[in-house]
Amino acid sequence: MLKFPIYLDNHATTPMDPRVLEAMMPYFLDSFGNAASRNHSFGWVAEEAVEKARKQLADVIGANSKEIVFTSGATESNNLAIKGVAEMYAQKGNHIITAATEHKAVLDTCKRLEKHGARVTYLPVQTNGLIDLDQLREAITDKTILVSIMYGNNEIGTIQDIPAIGKICKEKGILLHTDATQAVGKVPVNVISDNIDLLSFTAHKMYGPKGVGALYVRRKSPRVQLTAQMDGGGHERGMRSGTLNVPGIVGFGAAAALCQKEMAEESARHAFLRDKLKDKLMAELDETYINGTMEHRLPHNLNISFAYVEGESLLMGINDIAVSSGSACTSATLEPSYVLKALGAGDDLAHSSIRFGIGRFTTEEEVDYTAAKVIDVVRKLRELSPLYDMVKEGIDLSKVEWSAH
C-alpha cells in the first residue's frame, strides 16, 4: 500500500532508522552523563558509549578510533578541516585547490579564507561531472597545502576518483580532504586505500540523527595537525571543544554500523530501483538527459533533465512526491544550480532538472508510481510549453533572439 507523500529526497536528509533511535533512547534519560566526567559512573557510562560509537565510525571508513573527531555535522567538519589546515600550515603555503561542484560548506569556507589572504583554485569539471586529473596536477604549486575534493556529489551523485587524487597529493606531499557526506555508508570508502588525510561525514545522511557529524584526521604518515576553530574545554584532543552530544553520537555510531553491515545488499537494491526509474523515464519520454556520468555514481542518485519543462512547475505537478530541482524558480536566489551549470550543459537544462534520491525505506511500488506520475506530468507540461512546440516545428532554440530580462 502506498503512503503519501513519497519521500525521494534522501540526499537532503534520510529518515532515522528505528534501530538507530532505539540505540539512542537510553542516553536521553538514564544514561545522561557527561562523557568528560572522569570521577563517577555517569561519566564512565557516557564515555564508554562514545568510544563504542567512535570505533563504529572508524570501522566504516577503515580508520582508527583515535582519528575520529566529533562535530555538529558535515558543515562544521568541512570548516574545521579547511580552516584548521590553512591556519596550521600557513608557514608552508597558502594555496588550496577545490572544485566548482563542491558543497557550499566547502566553497564558502574557501571564499572566506581568500579574504584572509589564501589563494584558492576552483577546478572546473568535465561534462561527466568529474575533475580532470591533469588539471589538478597542473594546478599544484609549491605553495599548495590542501586539496579538497568531495567523494560523492550531493546533486548529481558523481563519484570522483579519490584514490587517484589521493595518490597525486601524496606524491606532492599535499594533504587531501574529502567531503564524503553522501558517500560514507553508501559505497565502500577506505581512508588508507583511498589515500585520504581528512574526511567529513554526517549522521543524518546515513539514517542517523541530525546535528552530529565527524571529521577523520589522519594520525600516521602523515600525522595531520589542525588549528582548533572552537575554543573551550579542549575536548576531542583539543581539536573541537564542547560537551559531546552523547545520544547523537551513539545514534551516529549505530547508523554507521548498520550501513556497513547492509551496504552490499542495500546498494544493489538502490541501484536496481534507481535504474528502473531511469529506464522507465527514458523509455517513455523523449529529450530527457541524465546529468553526470552513470558510470561513477552513487547507487541511490538520479539527476535528470526533462527538456522544455521547468523544474518547479514539474514539482508542483508531482506534489505527492518529495524531490528537489536545480531550477532557479525553486531557489531563494533565483539562480539555477551551480553544480549543473558547472557541467556546461546550458542553464536551460539546469532549470529542467529533478534530483531523485532513493533511500532505505523506498519501495519498488513507490518507484513505479513515481515514474508513471512524472511521465504524465512532463507530457502535460510539454503540451503547455512553447519551447516544445518550437522544437517540434524544427526551430533551433539557440538561434532565437530571446528577450532576456
Partner 1 sequence: MAYSDKVLDHYNNPRNVGNLDKKDPNVGTGLVGAPECGDVMKLQIKVNPETGVIEDAKFKTFGCGSAIASSSLATEMLKGKTVDEALQIKNTLIVNELSLPPVKIHCSVLAEDAIKAAITDYKAKSATPATAQTA
Ligand X SMILES: Cc1ncc(COP(=O)(O)O)c(C=O)c1O
Q: Which entry of 110, 169, 259, 329 is annotated as an active-site residue?
A: 329
Stretch that binds ligand X, among 72-80, 217-225, 330-338, 372-380 (CB under 6 A): 72-80
**From the list 12, 36, 329, 390, which residue makes contact with ligand FES (rule: CB under 6 A)?**
329
- 222-255: b or e for each residue (b if 16 or more CB lie within 10 Å)? eebebebbbeeeebbeebbeeebbbbbbbbbbbb
SS3 79: helix
Residue 75 as a binder of ligand X (CB under 6 A): the answer is: yes
Report the nearest approach of partner 1 to the CB of residue 398 (Å): 9
Vertex 189: Cα angle to 184 and 193 (nearest 5): 160
Where residue 173 falls (left for φ over 0; alpha for ψ -120 to 50; beta otherwise) is: left
Nearer to ligand FES, 2 or 400 (CB): 400
Nearest approach, Cβ of residue 93 and ligand X (Å): 25
402 binds, among partner 1, ligand X, ligand FES, none (CB under 5 to 8 A by kind): partner 1
> Binding partner 1 by CB under 8 A: which of 258, 310, 318, 323?
310
How far is residue 47's CA from residue 369's CA, in Å, rounded to a whole number?
Answer: 46
CB of 309 to partner 1, least distance (A): 7
Q: Is residue 329 among the annotated active site residues?
A: yes
| Residue 101 binds to ligand X (criterion: CB under 6 A) | no
Residues 6+ apart with CB under 8 A from 226: 80, 81, 84, 85, 88, 217, 239
What is the rounded distance in angstroms from the CA atom of residue 81 to the CA atom of residue 359?
28
Q: Which is nearer to ligand FES, 29 or 334 (CB)?
A: 334
User: Looking at beta carbons only, is 347 or 368 nearer to partner 1?
Assistant: 347
Total residues interacting with ligand X, rule: CB under 6 A:
12
Contact 49, 31 (CB under 8 A): yes
Q: Near partner 1 by CB under 8 A, which window of 144-152, 241-249, 297-305, 310-318? A: 310-318
Sign of CA dihedral 116, 177, 337, 132: positive
Residue numbers 299-328 binding ligand FES by CB under 6 A: 328
CA-to-CA distance for 396 and 401, rounded, in angstroms?
11
* Nearest residue (CB) to ligand FES, 39 versus 403: 403
Nearer residue to partner 1 within complex by CB, 164 or 316: 316
CB of 399 to ligand X, least distance (A): 38
Distance CA 24, CA 253 (A): 10
Query: What does residue 132 show for φ and ψ, rounded to 5 degrees?
Result: -90, 120
- Residue 70 parent element (H or E): strand 68-71
Are the beta carbons of 354 and 311 closer than 8 angstroms?
A: yes
Could you tell me which stretch among 43-51, 295-303, 346-354, 355-363 binds partner 1 (CB under 8 A)?
A: 346-354
Residue 179 contacts residue 74 (beta carbons within 8 Å)? yes
Strand partners, 177: 148, 198
Quote the least distance from Cβ 24 to ligand X, whole Å: 17
Give the one residue of 213, 247, 253, 336 binding ligand X; rule: CB under 6 A.
Answer: 213
Work out what residue 316 binds among ligand X, ligand FES, partner 1, none; the CB cut-off runs from 5 to 8 Å by kind. Answer: partner 1
Establish if 145 lies at the interface with ligand X (CB under 6 A): no
CB 185 within 8 A of CB 156: no
For ligand FES, the binding residues (CB under 6 A) are: 328-329
Could you give the residue numbers annotated as active site?
329
For partner 1, the binding residues (CB under 8 A) are: 308-313, 316-317, 327-329, 332, 334, 336, 346-348, 351, 383-389, 397, 402-405
For ligand X, the binding residues (CB under 6 A) are: 73-75, 103, 105, 150, 154, 179, 181-182, 202, 213
